[in-house]
Copies of this chain bind each other. A is one copy, B any other.
Amino acid sequence: SKHTESALVKHGDRGMTLEQEINESNQYYLAHDIAVIHKKPTPIQIVKVDYPKRSAAVIREAYFRQASTTDYNGIYRGRYIDFDAKETKEKTRFPLDNFHQHQVEHMRSCLKQGGICFGLIKFVAFDQLYLLKATDLINYWDARNHAGGRKSIPFTAFQTQAIPIKYSLNPTIAYLDAVDQLI
């Protein structure tokens, strides 16, 4: 539609990463009392900190650590929400190694507690974004090391199994509309 096209142009103009688009959408949802969802800070192992006189502490040596959870969580309509966001340049498939074992295990644990868990997967070549339910993701993940299992999820599976998310102006990506279909 015309509306979608102009939103895509606008979105392209601004050159935002998927993370920026999600953060902006979360700010909109928070400001409008729709949901409280935040990205977790990047985990850092701090080794050395300087404390200069009369100014802020400076971290002088630190290393990136592997996260033990997904990147985003929060609350929406009384439900615990938990997801990760991934971009791929591939056009025919989403390689499963974009996810890490601990992220999949974390989603498995959250599902057991009754959480709403999913991946937000963007095919940047088409500017197409999908919500993939964690149960579907986990099925592909668990199958990948078995006979006949694939190392990736075919793009066609997103078209049939996943929920497409349209770009809009406010919020940039209305991914909670897709979550409504899971609740």
Contact = CB atoms under 8 A, between A and B. Distances in A.
A143 B48 CA distance: 41
Contacts of A125: none
A76 B60 CA distance: 38
Interface string A58-79: 1111111001110001111111
Nearest to A59: B62
A149 interface: no
Contacts of A69: 38
A106 B36 CA distance: 8
Interface stretch (A11-19, A108-116, A152-160, A161-169): A108-116
A41 B38 contact: no
Interface in A81-120: 82, 106, 109-110, 112-115
Contact of A35 (B46, B67, B113): B113
Number of identical protomers: 2
Interface string A36-54: 1010111110100000000
Nearest to A56: B63
Given A36-B109, A41-B41, A44-B59, 18 more contacts: A30-B109, A33-B109, A36-B110, A38-B68, A40-B40, A40-B41, A41-B67, A42-B46, A58-B62, A58-B63, A59-B59, A60-B60, A60-B61, A73-B73, A73-B74, A75-B110, A77-B113, A79-B80
